[in-house]
Structure 1
Amino acid sequence: MSVFPSNAFSLEYRPDLGLIIGRWLQDLPPPELQGTYEAMLAAAQAHGNCRFWLLDLRRRPVAGPDLNAWFRDQFSPRIAAALGGPLFTAYLAGPHQRPAAESDAMELYFRREAVVDAFPQLFESEAEAMAWLRAGQEREGVAPA
């Protein structure tokens, strides 16, 4: 697993919310970016196979083709099996990222993710992202008390 600078990415588990929260504080090259996803998976496994992630992309570009291919072909297929169920990911994206987030390539990515039991959703509002994750937890019967 790649190591990433702590001033470039923050990762925390919030037991009160039942969430893994990852925030990129700056852009990272693909090997380090892959390392952040591996770190999130390890944190999720360490915290009861947490399947609800809030990922803040607002300070880094929406992923390019190299990361998307790695995510699609190598990382995503492992997630549901590793965590014992589907992954629900709320991505926070800023208005400046809307063109990339709403592209045909991103729509295809979202459809492919559903095939491997990963359910990503894009949000501009953190409150809306949290509400979507909470609704998913309730549907899955794993909402924190």
Structure 2
Amino acid sequence: MLPPAALHIARDPGTGFLSARWQGPVPEVLLMRHYVVLLAEAHRLPGGHFWLLDLRGRNWPSPRFEHWFSHILAPRVTDALGHPVFVACVLDAGHAPEANGPAAEASQRECATHDLYTYFFDSEDAARAWLRHQQQHYHTPA
């Protein structure tokens, strides 16, 4: 079970996006569990191909987590939900060095080989616009 204050998951009724927001730093093991819960919610709810993740309140994960996400979780996500899946991540300015670093870039490339596309944004408006664009081109909007 997840601590209630650690993660908030919702489906945006207007867009169908699966939205997740972290309320503070999260230990890596718990963060992995959070993503498994996100996958379960995406599978349960319509619109599960479009994830809006607000990472601004959360710590940046380790390269170990990024490897787990891209090599273990990404194939599970697309196997469970179908292809493609789009993940828009809203970042804090403090995340920029890691988000632009080699581990994040390698993770993004590996995820793309599984048809899971992660992109980083500095505003929620830009992230939502990108997800809406993907909906229009790959799926019928909710």
TM-score category (smaller protein): over 0.9
Q: Which residue of 2 aligns with 1:122?
A: 120
Alpha-carbon shift at residue 66 of structure 1 (Å): 2.1
Q: Deviation at 1:40?
A: 0.8
One-letter amino acid matched to 1:124: D
Q: TM-score, normalised by structure 1?
A: 0.92
TM-score by length of 2: 0.94
Report if the CA contact (8 A) 1:80-1:117 is conserved.
yes
| Unpaired runs of at least 5, structure 1 | none
What CA deviation, in whole Å up to 9, does each residue of 1:69-128 have, x standing for no partner? 221221111111100221100001011111111112211111111101100000011000
Q: Which moved more, 1:62-71 or 1:50-59?
A: 62-71
Deviations 1:32-71 (A, max 9, x none): 1111111111111111361000001111122112211221
User: Runs of 4+ in structure 1 displaced over 6 angstroms?
Assistant: none
The count of residues paired between Structure 1 and Structure 2 equals 142
C-alpha RMSD of the superposition: 1.2
On the 8 A contact 2:16/2:46 being kept in 1, the answer is no
**Equivalent position SS for 2:9:** strand
**Structure 2 residue ranges without an equivalent (≥5):** none
Q: CA deviation at 1:13?
A: 1.1
What letter corresponds to residue 4 of structure 1 in structure 2?
Answer: L
Indicate whether 1:87 and 2:85 are aligned: yes
1:1-145 paired onto structure 2 within 5 Å: 3-48=1-46, 50-144=48-142
Identity %: 33
Query: Letter of the aligned partner of 2:23 in structure 1?
Result: L
